[in-house]
Amino acid sequence: MRSLPGLALPAALVLALVTPALPAAGEGPETSANLAAAATIRRIYDEALTSRAAYQNLTELVNRYPGRLSGSQHLTGAIDWAAATLRKLPLDRVATQPVMVPHWERGEPEAVSLAGPNGPVQLAAAALGGTIATPEGGISAEVVTVHTEAELNQLGAAGLRGKIVFIDAPMNPKTVTTGTAYGEAGWSRNRGPGLAARYGAVAALTRSLTLAQDDIPHTGNTSFAPGQPKLPAAALSWIAADRLAQALTANSHTQVTVALHGHWLPDAAAANLIGEIRGSEHPDQIILVGGHLDSWDIAPGANDDGAGVVQSIEVLRLFVATGIRPKHTLRCVLFVNEENGGRGGQAYAAQVRASGEKHLLAMETDNGSFQPRGFSLANINHDVGAKASRWLPLLAPYGIAFFADGSGGADVQPLAPLGIPVGELRPDSQLYFDYHHTRNDTLEHVNPRELALGAAALAAVTWLTDEQGL
């Protein structure tokens, strides 16, 4: 691309053409109140786009504390780092909420191999969180492939006892929003191994939940119902899953050997981190922005959810740096144990229920650092997405195109039953599951400007909620 005169239009101009004007009753976009709001939002974005603070914080967090799984020393280090980072802003209050978290460890690296004419062929695999170890030396058995949950149930104990089950349920590439495809294929990792265990399978292999056709396995949590049998289970990379499928097509009696070392330890001490700017008029009323500090053990956790952590911190820093004093208390909450238990989000909601603390809005950012596009919002009492849509003309110049009536993320969703509006930032979804829960979730897949645009979008909605209510 060369620069032609008029080649590039300002985003404001472009988006003005397509942005629905949904002003609040009696307030159109041209009122002086809206002009003042536009100017404040511009200040927030200017600060975000000219500061490297969020990216520098992410660099520190990811380089010092990769693999921040619940129970790990790196999670403890990350909690301490976050507390020190919040204190430096400075804020009116920094506090911790102690939370006991489950403690699962992968143990020695997993090994999955395929018997071949020239000896075993290694398959790239990652044990799933919550799974148990194989006996010393691994388990060797024939493989039964299933593609759907119905197929798994249909085979039942007669078809699965003593076998290794290969749950080959890829994410649907035709689905444009990858989060939807992830949700639809999620049973294969979430429930599939537990079902296979109940039918007497000796191990389970899943296809990684990704659309990236590479050799990187994606871990993630799997659940075994209380009192039901467990088994060793691992996710294969896309390429390894294809290789296994091909081998089984060629010879349905192909033997696979699985050696996993997952094990549980006693619950460990951890804590949610809380940082606050005290509201000037309604200090007892809270607007919350949060992300989660923990990550999978094998993942540096840059996008999941280092990005959300530093964006949540950045929202407070943007208020401090621009000198915008909020009327309500702005609270950043950095949750623990989102990945394999949700204890941080549950503990926070329990505290709110017990204390009766009033929250105007609780927003989460846990969908990666990519270009922000909109927000999902949910409230049990009314369509809060439609209400927030009156702000679109103010946010469209920055690429924010929707407030959808949807849900919050996993950490703020437990606040929804209390009647609190919950929401989450919705960035572009194409790249997130390429790196999700892998060793590839690295800093190089975070663009500093996209990260900053996400933080600014959260700060703008925070400020609009503070000024105008939701």
Provide, rounded to whole angstroms, the least separation between the CB of residue 213 and a second copy: 8
CB of 241 or CB of 259, closer to a second copy: 241
H helices present in 186-226, as ranges: 187-190, 192-198
DSSP state of 302: I
Are residues 212 and 438 in contact, defined by beta-carbon separation less than 8 angstroms? no
CA angle 130, 293, 42 (to 5 degrees): 140
DSSP state of 61: H
Q: Distances in Å between the alpha carbon of 275 and those of 118, 342, 346?
A: 59, 20, 18
49, 100, 139, 320: residue in contact with a second copy (rule CB under 8 A): 49
Provide, rounded to whole angstroms, the least separation between the CB of residue 244 and a second copy: 20
The answer to whether residue 404 forms part of the interface with a second copy (CB under 8 A) is yes
179, 200, 229, 283: residue in contact with a second copy (rule CB under 8 A): 179
Are residues 219 and 439 in contact, defined by beta-carbon separation less than 8 angstroms? no
Provide, rounded to whole angstroms, the least separation between the CB of residue 450 and a second copy: 5
Are residues 165 and 156 in contact, defined by beta-carbon separation less than 8 angstroms? no
Binding map of a second copy across residues 189-218, x = CB under 8 A, - = no contact: -x--------------------x-x-----
The answer to whether residue 8 forms part of the interface with a second copy (CB under 8 A) is yes
Tally Cβ neighbours within 10 Å of residue 23: 15
Q: Is 338 a catalytic residue?
A: yes
Cis peptide upstream of residue 305 (ω within 30 degrees of 0): yes
The answer to whether residue 39 forms part of the interface with a second copy (CB under 8 A) is no
Pick the stretch among 9-17, 67-75, 225-233, 265-273 that binds a second copy (CB under 8 A). 9-17
Pick the stretch among 157-165, 273-281, 324-332, 400-408 that binds a second copy (CB under 8 A). 400-408
Single out the residue of 368, 34, 415 nearest to residue 179, CA to CA: 368
The answer to whether residue 441 forms part of the interface with a second copy (CB under 8 A) is no
CB of 255 or CB of 371, closer to a second copy: 371
The answer to whether residue 398 forms part of the interface with a second copy (CB under 8 A) is yes
The answer to whether residue 40 forms part of the interface with a second copy (CB under 8 A) is no
Binding-residue total with a second copy (CB under 8 A) = 79
99, 101, 324, 392: residue in contact with a second copy (rule CB under 8 A): 392
Is 23 strand, coil or helix?
coil
List CB contacts of 390: < 8 A, sequence separation 6 or more: 22, 23, 24
Just list the catalytic residues.
Answer: 338
